[in-house]
Amino acid sequence: MLKDITLGQFFPGDSIAHRLDARCKLLLVVVYIAALFTAKGVVGYGLVILATVAMVAVSRIPPKALFRGLKPVVVIIVFTAVLNMFFTTGTPLVKLGPVTITQEGLIRAGAMVLRIMLLICGTFLLTYTTSPIALTDGMERLFNPLKKIKVPVHEMSMMMSMALRFIPTLIEETDKIMSAQKARGADFETGNLFQRAKALLPLLVPLFVSAFRRADDLAIAMESRCYHGGDGRTRMKQLKWKTRDTIAMLLGLALLAAVIGLRRFGL
Amino acid sequence: MTPIVRAEALRHVYSAGTPFEKVAIDGIDLSLTAGQLVGVIGHTGSGKSTFIQHLNGLLKPTSGAVYFEEQDIHRSKEATRDVRFSVGLVFQYPEYQLFEETVYKDIAFGPKNMKLSESEVDARVKEAAHFVGLPDELMELSPLELSGGQKRRIAIAGVIAMRPKVLILDEPTAGLDPGGCRDILQNILDYRSETGSAVLIVTHNMDDAARIADRLVVFNHGHIAFDGTPEAVFSHTKELMDIGLDVPQSARIAQALRERGVALPDSIYTPDQLFAAVQALRKGAGAC
């Protein structure tokens, strides 16, 4: 069950998508989301879907992995779909007692589901093709101008990279503790809500203890190597903006422009 | 003797159908009888940990089956859960799973899950604490305040308190000082001799394995490479070293001597045997 969480997982590879500059990919995701939310008509959505498929193809990430990433949000998707389906006014199609399904509602629900799925696919492509370190590095560089107004950009990106780094570790740890408690007869799967919440205690206490222990160890390890923050630190891997990044960026902007243009014509 | 736990043609594949697919164990046949003390050795990733998690039903085999007292442990959900009380599994670094406010409550977690009466739980906690040598005055302290060795003992007591008929321990002595190692191994031996349970210990320490086990099972790449008495297994010194495993120091010395042309028998794996063999040789040489 816990293995389904793919948040922040990186698929090592050597495709063009992997080699693009992290900053470029981050900006592209922003542009992509903008395009996705501007799209209105069938043609607009079609274009965004086409772009997504093209990106997946270029990144050589198995589509199966992307669908696996969608699993944890199925509830949200279904919830949105149902809400939109029943609570949109318009031409009624079906009447089921007090609720009516309208034509507009159906269309809107479909569009919403499509939108969430594409949104997740797009952002997952980013985390799948970019290592957490490159990702936070790129973020730090993008937000660098904010340092002028005393925003602790380096500290924030450091915190993020640590959080990302520890997600798989904590998942693994959770699995391990769960097995250990199950071996002593703990039951995480049956009972009512209250019983289940109580059953989580033997899992959560050791997990917190070990998270604090890890944090302590990490702090000591960093201090013993004289870590003191961002000033004057050099990087092992320099981010370099290359021609391919410019091209990718231009393609992204072209997509956004096209979607905006199509929206004008109601497509 | 009928086996108490029996694994048959066990195969387990992790992340089947993904790029990360990995066959952890394949074609494992193994049975344990009561009172046996089995040492399981094999290098990291050889499938030992996967294997032991099948014995109490934490992992479900991709194919094959595990039988406890000749009944399939996956015949129903309840059966699987009950088997966990009879096949006690102590994980590696078990001290990280302590969670209760007091040592007593933590040890009582297993027996309480078995729905035993309060007095029975109490009796078992005391018995288990006695087995691992935990003094009474520790029982009301928080387990998190104690030393690493004591925590380890509490965790082991937590499993022993369920009075398992099969006790499985994954590297129970990892990270302990030599004294702590000896104590814990002695506790385990005591448990076996007093209850007649079968014990299975996963270990990297060949000297320990040679000293306490009466049967050794060697895992290599998800298969069983050797299965037999320590004497039989350690007579394959060269093969064991070829698959990247250690052998007891005495066996290593004997092998080195053999390679230099000293005619020593194959079955040396303890200091006493080595000493006796070398002495016998010297006597022979003296007679010449």
Say which residue the tokens 């949200």 belong to. A76
CB-based contact A64 B58, cutoff 8 Å = no
Dist. CA A134–CA A51, nearest whole Å: 24
Give which of B102, B177, B89 is closest to B140, Cα–Cα.
B102
Burial class (CB in 10 A: 0-12, 13-18, 19+), A224: exposed
Calculate mean pLDDT across residues B247-255.
86
Interface-testing mutation among B97, B146, B160, with chain A (most A C-beta atoms within 10 A): B97
Q: Considering only CA atoms, which of A16, A49, A15 is closest in space to residue A32?
A: A49
DSSP code for B94 = G
| Residue of chain A minimizing CA distance to B90 | A180
A188, closest residue in chain B (CA to CA): B81
Q: Is A176 on the interface with B (CB under 8 A)?
A: yes
Q: Identify the three-state secondary structure at position B14.
A: strand
A228-254: per-residue pLDDT in tens? 876 777 777 778 888 999 999 999 999
Does the predicted TM-score (pTM) go above 0.90?
Answer: no
Tell if the CB–CB gap between B84 and A210 is shorter than 8 Å.
no
Whole-number pLDDT of residue B104: 94
- On the question of pLDDT at A60 being above 50, the answer is yes
Residues in A closer than 8 angstroms to B56, CB to CB, are: 183
* Two tokens, residue B233: 């297994």
By the 8 A CB rule, do A258 and A39 touch?
no
* Helix residue spans in B16-73 (DSSP H): 48-55
DSSP letter (8 states) at residue B214: S
The shortest CB-CB distance from A181 to any of B97, B114, B144 is to B97
Tens-place pLDDT, residues B21-76: 888 999 999 999 999 999 999 888 888 999 999 999 999 999 999 999 989 999 98
Contact pairs from chain A to chain B, CB under 8 Å:
59
Chain B residues within 8 A of A207 when measuring between CB atoms: none
Q: Which residue of A has its CA nearest to B59?
A: A179
Among B91, B99, B110, beta carbon nearest to A201: B99
Whole-number mean pLDDT of chain B? 89
Asked whether residue A22 carries a pLDDT value surpassing 50, the answer given is yes
SS3 category, B175 = coil
Among A6-10, A61-65, A145-149, A165-169, top mean pLDDT goes to: A145-149
- Half-sphere exposure of residue B8, counting CA atoms within 13 Å on the CB side? 12
Number of CB atoms found within 10 A of residue B39's CB: 24
Identify which of B19, B53, B110 has the shortest CB distance to residue A184. B110
In this structure, what token pair is assigned to residue B88? 């006690």
Closest CB from A62, A65, A206 relative to B99: A206
Structure confidence at residue B164 (pLDDT): 94
Give CA separation, A47 vs A88, A123, A234, B180, B252, in Å: 26, 17, 41, 67, 69
Chain B nearest C-alpha distance from A179 (Å): 7
Which residues lie below 8 Å from residue A233, measured CB to CB, with a gap of 6+?
A: none
- Per-residue confidence (pLDDT) for residue B19, from 0 to 100: 67
Interface mutation target, options B52, B99, B200, chain A, most CBs of A under 10 Å: B99
A255 vs B224: CA distance, rounded Å? 58
Using an 8 Å CB-CB cutoff, list chain B residues near A182: 58, 84
The reported pLDDT for the residue numbered A2 is 46
Q: Report whether pLDDT(A6) > 70.
A: no
CB burial of residue A101 (10 Å; 0-12, 13-18, 19+): middle
Query: Helix (H, G, I), strand (E, B), or coil: what is residue B92?
Result: coil
Domain boundaries, chain A: 2-264
| Mean pLDDT across B79-93 | 91
List chain B residues with CB under 8 Å of A187.
Answer: 81, 113
Strand locations in B60-151, DSSP E? 63-68, 71-72, 87-90
Q: How far is it, in rounded angstroms, from Cα B253 to Cα B239?
A: 15
Q: Is A23:A239 a contact under the CB 8 Å cutoff?
A: yes
Q: Min CA distance, A230 vs chain B (Å)?
A: 34
Give the span between the Cα atoms of B274 and B207, in whole angstroms: 13
- To the nearest whole Å, the CA of B91 is away from the closest chain A CA by 6
What does chain A look like in DSSP terms, one character per residue? -GGG--TT------SHHHHS-HHHHHHHHHHHHHHHHH--SHHHHHHHHHHHHHHHHHHT--HHHHHHHHGGGHHHHHHHHHHHHHS--SSEEEEETTEEEEHHHHHHHHHHHHHHHHHHHHHHHHHHHS-HHHHHHHHHHHHGGGGGGT--HHHHHHHHHHHHHHHHHHHHHHHHHHHHHHHTT--SSSS-HHHHHHHTHHHHHHHHHHHHHHHHHHHHHHHHTT---STT---SS-----HHHHHHHHHHHHHHHHHHHHHHTT-
- Give the CA count within 13 Å in the CB-facing half-sphere of A231: 3
Measure A208 CA to nearest chain B CA, in Å: 10
Q: How far is A209 from chain B (nearest CA, A)?
A: 8
Looking at the complex, does the CB of residue A60 fall below 8 Å from at least one CB of chain B?
Answer: no
Report the DSSP beta bridge partners of residue B12.
B25
The predicted model gives B239-258 an average pLDDT of 86
| ipTM of predicted complex | 0.85
User: What are the structural domains of chain B?
Assistant: 5-230 (3.40.50.300), 248-288 (no CATH)
Q: Are strands B198-202 and B166-170 parallel, antiparallel or unpaired?
A: parallel
How much is the average pLDDT of A19-33? 92
Q: Does A184 touch chain B (CB under 8 A)?
A: yes
The mean pLDDT value of chain A amounts to 85
Is B56 part of the contact surface with chain A (CB cutoff 8 Å)?
Answer: yes
* Partner-chain contact B109 A184, CB within 8 Å: yes
Average pLDDT over residues A120-142: 86
Reference B169, options B178, B161, B177, B160; nearest CA is: B160
Cα end-to-end distance, chain A, whole Å: 41
Provide, as residue numbers in chain A, all residues whose Cβ is less than 8 Å from the Cβ of B109.
181, 184-186, 202
